[in-house]
Amino acid sequence: MAIECLVLGPSGGARLLLLLLSLSPTRVDPSRVNAIPVDAGAGQDVGKSCVVATIGGRRVMFDCGVHLYYKGRRSYPDFERVLAATGAADFTAAISCVVITHSHLDHIGGLPYFTEVCGYNGPIYMTYPAKALAPMMLEDFRKVMVNQQWEEGQYSHEDILRCMKKVIPLDLKQTVQVDKDLVIRAYYAGHVLGAAMIYAKVGDAAMVYTGDYNMTPDRHLGAAQIDRLKLDLLITESTYAKTTRDSRRAREREFLHAVHKCVSGGGKVLIPLFAVGRAQELCMLLDDYWERMNWKIPIYFSGGLTIQSNIYYKMLIGWTSQKIKDSCRMHNPFDFKHVCHFERSFIDNPGPCVLFATPGMISINAGFSFEVFKKWAPSEKNLVTLPGYCASGSIGHKLMSGKPKRIDIEGTHIDVRCQIHQLAFSPHTDSKGIMNLIEFLSPKHVILVHGEKPLMAFLKERVESELGMPCYYPANNESISIPTTQHHKMSATERFITSCTNEQTKDSLQRRKLFCGSNMSEANDDEKLAEGTLLMEKNKALKILCEDELVQLLGMDRHVIQYEPMAASRIAAAGELE
């Protein structure tokens, strides 16, 4: 008969060690989970996501993004720090596996660089749709690198192909045994087609890394779904750590009202977005509206990117919301009637139109959205709608923080007379959703990543005071060590087992507990309580035996020491004597 005992850290338990890259040199203790956000990555920042977690000696890299605001090697996570922190000779030895949560560039853009330039050759996992969408996203980013004439850190088209060949696709809820100890599983995260939350487990130590997620369904994707898991650690994104959003319908009405006002006045609408995700959501909304209004005003997608991703959306309809799945038997909702391809020469065309252009948030250094913005911003008839979140340093961020009349960038002056509308649409969960997920999973510890420092501090307070869970938000380079649960298997002698079933033992123990004022009186009446000695011998399994057996084993005589409780009056008397 085996008895399972629960041993909790820090004294004897295993620990999770988490590393949000940029790492400080840290020796990795296999008995902890250690997490480090990599330089300018997910720690107290929304940029390149990359978190390395060490669980029971296994090291998992969650996401491998780029920061679109930087150029060259600086835009990648500081991978070298992984080697410095682990002392490993190369990345394949340092990292047990890489898991990518979704195909947005801030989560995947650094992957070809890590595999083909840095030489990581171990397993890489992502969901089927993420794998399908990734080459398009990466190829788009590669063009940005070429346009910006990066002097270092570029990867080639062939690098993307070679990297993607190494990717092992994941299905939802599929349990994957990475090696004999490490298990991973993907859960539906909403957010973007193929986005997943990742569960990782080594022995009894378990954690979830959410990546980006949405707790409410939108027009085309369902809400995040996860099992109630026993977790030592939850690492959650916290982009909207303080925001509670209005209902989706109200947000949609507001957006349509702004677009309607602009195009009916003959203006042009620029919607800078990432290729995958929100574009599909907003297109569905506009396509419906155009149909109702019977408008012929063109809606354009810039480049082939979004049209291409629409093809994948159609193919991977099983990953969308239930409503879409049901309706697509009649008509594929990604077959947009009013949407057509945009040519560069259309920029100066007269008349109203709507244009979806990448990248979102309008990067300063590159991207078609920047080119169009330069042309359209000076007219007050036009409208620019910005996504809910724009990284600091981007034009989007400048436009959102006060309405500048003029923007000066790298020698270019742009007069900004157009209307600015901030989209309340976001594929990220709001603070209510984050709190709901944390409460639902009830992990022993929470780490916040992918957020801004003051907002994270606010959310940490809420998690600790309202949910009573220790919560951290490490900066990049900062390593956090979390105690984990560990179960030990041990055998018991026959005599000990017999003693467990002996009613007398239970009675005598309960009497003893009452006498000592033990708080174990809540024990269920059906539970058999027994007292034994745990024997730990080198190279042997743990064993529980009775006291008599121990005395016999040690070849010793039994000694009995009796204690007599001292009455309070006698203690006082003894004090007086001194």
CA distance 279 to 139: 18
Q: How far is the CB of 237 from Zn ion (least distance, A)?
A: 8
Which one, 280 or 499, has the nearer CB to Zn ion? 280
Residue 104 interacts with Zn ion (CB under 5 A): yes or no: yes
Residue 450 interacts with Zn ion (CB under 5 A): yes or no: no
Residue 67 interacts with Zn ion (CB under 5 A): yes or no: no
Q: Please give the helix or strand (H or E) that residue 140 lies within, else none.
A: helix 128-147
Cα 217 to its chain centre, rounded Å, is: 18
The burial class, CB within 10 Å (0-12 / 13-18 / 19+), for 162 is middle
Residue 430 interacts with Zn ion (CB under 5 A): yes or no: no
Residue 268 interacts with Zn ion (CB under 5 A): yes or no: no
Q: How far is the CB of 282 from Zn ion (least distance, A)?
A: 16
CA distance 155 to 163: 10
Residue 48 interacts with Zn ion (CB under 5 A): yes or no: no
Nearest Cα neighbor of 305 from 328, 332, 272 is 272
CA distance 259 to 533: 75
Which one, 91 or 213, has the nearer CB to Zn ion? 213
Cβ atoms of residues 21 and 37 within 8 Å = yes
Which one, 212 or 281, has the nearer CB to Zn ion? 212
Q: How far is the CB of 13 from Zn ion (least distance, A)?
A: 34
Q: Which stretch binds Zn ion (CB under 5 A): 100-108, 139-147, 248-256, 408-416?
A: 100-108
Q: How far is the CB of 211 from Zn ion (least distance, A)?
A: 7
Q: Which stretch binds Zn ion (CB under 5 A): 10-18, 26-34, 103-111, 556-564?
A: 103-111
How many residues bind Zn ion (CB under 5 A)? The answer is 2
CA distance 6 to 232: 13
Q: Which stretch binds Zn ion (CB under 5 A): 97-105, 456-464, 473-481, 517-525?
A: 97-105
Write the single-letter amino acid at 268: K
Which one, 104 or 220, has the nearer CB to Zn ion? 104
CA distance 417 to 57: 57
Cβ atoms of residues 54 and 34 within 8 Å = yes
Residue 227: CB atoms within 10 Å: 12
Q: List binders of Zn ion among 156-215 (CB under 5 A).
A: 212
Residue 421 interacts with Zn ion (CB under 5 A): yes or no: no
Q: Which stretch binds Zn ion (CB under 5 A): 3-11, 102-110, 284-292, 337-345?
A: 102-110
Q: How far is the CB of 431 from Zn ion (least distance, A)?
A: 17
Q: 471: which 2 tokens?
A: 């919560």
Residue 295: CB atoms within 10 Å: 16
Task: Encode 109-131 in three state secondary structure.
Answer: CCHHHHHHHCCCCCCEEEEHHHH
Q: Which stretch binds Zn ion (CB under 5 A): 99-107, 162-170, 405-413, 458-466?
A: 99-107
Which one, 267 or 272, has the nearer CB to Zn ion? 272
Residue 237 interacts with Zn ion (CB under 5 A): yes or no: no
3-class secondary-structure state, position 280? helix
Catalytically annotated residues = 237
Q: How far is the CB of 14 from Zn ion (least distance, A)?
A: 31
**Rg of the Cα atoms in the chain:** 30
Which one, 352 or 427, has the nearer CB to Zn ion? 427
Q: Which residues bind Zn ion (CB under 5 A)?
A: 104, 212
